Amino acid sequence: MIDVEPEPVARPDEPEHCAEQALPSRATVWAVVLAAVVVALWFPAADAAVWAVSPAAHRFTSSDSLVEMLPPVGGAAILAVWVFVFWSLIGSFLNVVVYRLPLGESVVHGGSHCPRCDTPIKWHDNLPVVGWLFLNGRCRSCQLPIAARYPVVEAICAGFGTALYFRELLSGGANLPQRAPDFLHGGVLMLFPNPSSDLLGLSLYHCGMLCILLVWGLIAWDRHPLPGRHVVAVLLVAILLPSLFPSLHPLPLSLDASESRTADDWLVNGLAVSVAGGLAGLCCGQFLHLLLNRLLRGDAAGRCGLPLLPTSSMGVGLALVGIVFGWQGMLGTVILLLVACLVQILIWSAVMAWPSMPLELLLVPATFIHLCVWRQLVTSLAPWWPGSPTLACLAPPAVLLLLVSLALPAIAPAVGQSQPPIDADPNHRGDQPA
C-alpha cells in the first residue's frame, strides 16, 4: 500500500537550497532490490556452499540422490519467494505507518490517493516495488512523481524478513546465544521450517522489533517527533511479552551468560531482563544523544553539512533493543551501531550525493546484523563481546565511541564537501508520491 503526502510546505528553519532533493533513478531502486535479494539469499547460499564442500559422510544427502532432492528444493524455493513477497507487503504497510502515525491518522482505514488530483490508487498500481517500477515513479493520472522511498523500504523489508526466515526459523535458532538449536542440520538443508513454539515466538518478537525500529528511523529521518502514546504502548507490550513468555530472552540478567536458568521464571528471566535492558538502552541512547548533538552543534546542527543528523529518539530506540535483547544484546548492537556510524562518515566523505542519516535509521541494520550473528559474535569474540562473563566486554563500545567522537569534528562544513547539499528528508520536497 502506497500512502501519500500533502503539498510541499517550506521549512522556515532550513536553507532554501536544501528544500529540494534529486529523485533517485530507476537504477537506484533496482540496485536496492537486487541488494535485498542478495541479503535474503546470503545465509542459504552460505549453507549450501558449506554443504557442497563437506565430506560425503557429513552431508545431508548423498550425491547420487540430488535428483530426488529437486522437488523438495523447488517447493522450498517457492515458499521462500512467498516469504519475500509477504515481507514486501509488510514494508508497504510500514510506509503507510511512517506517513500517518506522526499526523495522528488511522493506519488501517482510508485508501491511498494522489494528493494533487485526488485519484484513488488502483490495486495493481499499489503492488510493492513492481507497481512503482511499472508506473516509472509517477501517478497514472496526473503524472506527478511518486517518492522512490516507497519501493526502497518495501525491498529492504523483503530482504531483511526473508533473511531472518532463513537464519532464525530454518536454522532452528542457530543465531541465538546459549539456546541450543532445534535441529541437527540447519539453514537451507532443512528446506522447510518446523520450529518449536518458543522459536516461533522469538522470531515474531524479533521481527516486530525490527519493523518498529524501521518506522521510528524513517520518522526521525523525516524530522517528525514520535507520538508519546505510541512509544509508551510499544515499550509496555515489549516488556509484557517476556514476562508472560520468559523464553523470549535467550540470555539471563547476570553478567555470566552460562548461569543456569529456568524458562518459567517470569520475574528474573522475563521482567527483570526487560526492565534492566530497557533502562540500560535508555541511558546509552540518551548519552549518544547528548554527545552527538554536542558534536553537531553550531551552524552544522540540523543542516546539510554533516554525515549524521542530530538524534531525537535514540533513547527509546535503544530502550526497545534492550528490552528485546537484554542489556548484553543492546551493548552488542551499540558496537555495531558505532561501526555503522564510522562507515556512514567514510561513505559520506567519499560520495558526493550520499545523504546525511539519523542514528535512529542506522540502528536498523546494526540490530539486524547483530541478530543474525549474535551467537557467533558471543562465542568467537569472547571475552570482548557483550555476553561474556567479564567486564572486558565494555571496552569495544568505549573505543568505538571515542573513534566516532574524533571522526565527526574532523569533518566540518567549512572544510568539508563541496557537493550540493542533500536534504535529510528522503521522501520530499518536490518528490510528491501519488
Contacts of 168 (CB under 8 A, 6+ apart): 175, 176, 199, 202, 203, 206, 371
> Which grid cell is 366?
546494526
Mean pLDDT lowest for which of 103-112, 133-142, 391-400, 412-421?
412-421
- Please check the confidence at residue 369 and state whether its pLDDT lies above 90: yes
- Please check the confidence at residue 433 and state whether its pLDDT lies above 80: no
Reported confidence tier of residue 190, pLDDT bands at 50, 70, 90: low
- Please check the confidence at residue 111 and state whether its pLDDT lies above 70: yes
Reported confidence tier of residue 389, pLDDT bands at 50, 70, 90: low
> What's residue 430's pLDDT?
35
DSSP, collapsed to helix, strand or coil, labels residue 175 as coil
Domain boundaries, the chain: 20-61+70-410
> What's residue 320's pLDDT?
96
Reply yes or no: is the peptide bond before residue 420 cis, omega within 30 of 0.
Answer: no
Residue 318: closest CA among 368, 273, 343, 283? 283
- Please check the confidence at residue 407 and state whether its pLDDT lies above 50: yes
CA distance 125 to 30: 17
Mean pLDDT lowest for which of 228-232, 363-367, 412-416?
412-416
> What's residue 187's pLDDT?
44
Reported confidence tier of residue 137, pLDDT bands at 50, 70, 90: confident
Residues linked to residue 358 through DSSP beta bridges, in sequence order? 309
CA distance 4 to 125: 13
Average pLDDT on 251-274 reads 69
CA distance 185 to 170: 9
CA distance 282 to 247: 23
Contact 416, 300 (CB under 8 A): no
Instruction: Identify the burial level of 49 via C-beta atoms within 10 angstroms of its C-beta, where 0-12 means exposed, 13-18 middle and 19 or more buried.
Output: exposed
Taken in order 349, 317, 206, 155, the sign of the CA dihedral is negative
Higher pLDDT, 105 or 362: 362
Taken in order 201, 207, 212, 217, the sign of the CA dihedral is positive
- Please check the confidence at residue 28 and state whether its pLDDT lies above 50: yes
Residues linked to residue 388 through DSSP beta bridges, in sequence order? 386
CA distance 169 to 202: 9
CA distance 258 to 261: 9
Average pLDDT on 90-101 reads 91
Reported confidence tier of residue 188, pLDDT bands at 50, 70, 90: very low
CA distance 190 to 173: 13
Residue 21: closest CA among 397, 369, 414, 354? 354
Higher pLDDT, 422 or 111: 111
> What's residue 388's pLDDT?
66
- pTM for the whole thing? 0.82
> What's residue 308's pLDDT?
83
pLDDT tens, position by position, 324-340: 999 989 999 999 998 99
> What's residue 425's pLDDT?
44
Contacts of 261 (CB under 8 A, 6+ apart): 252, 268, 269
> Which grid cell is 324?
528485546
Higher pLDDT, 212 or 264: 212
**Strands, E assignment, 308-355:** 308-309
Contact 14, 104 (CB under 8 A): no
Residue 364: closest CA among 331, 388, 340, 390? 340
Residue 90: closest CA among 7, 170, 164, 21? 164
Reported confidence tier of residue 240, pLDDT bands at 50, 70, 90: very high
Mean pLDDT of the chain: 77
> What's residue 122's pLDDT?
81
DSSP string, 211-265: HHHHHHHHHHHTT-PPPHHHHHHHHHHHHHHHHH-GGG-SS-SSS-TTS---TT-
> What's residue 193's pLDDT?
64
CA distance 277 to 107: 30
Dihedral of CA atoms 133, 134, 136, 140 in degrees, nearest 10, equals -130
> What's residue 205's pLDDT?
95
Average pLDDT on 55-83 reads 68
> What's residue 10's pLDDT?
35
Mean pLDDT lowest for which of 24-38, 204-218, 420-434?
420-434
Give ∠ CA 190-192-195 in degrees, rounded to 5: 85
Reported confidence tier of residue 59, pLDDT bands at 50, 70, 90: low
Mean pLDDT lowest for which of 58-62, 165-169, 280-284, 412-416?
412-416
Contacts of 86 (CB under 8 A, 6+ apart): 161
Cα 416 to chain centroid distance, Å, stands at 29
Average pLDDT on 10-29 reads 49
Q: Which range is most confident: 39-53, 113-127, 175-189, 249-263?
A: 39-53
Q: How far apart are the first and last CA of the chain?
A: 11
> What's residue 24's pLDDT?
57
- Please check the confidence at residue 423 and state whether its pLDDT lies above 50: no
| CB atoms closer than 10 angstroms to residue 108 | 8
Average pLDDT on 242-259 reads 77
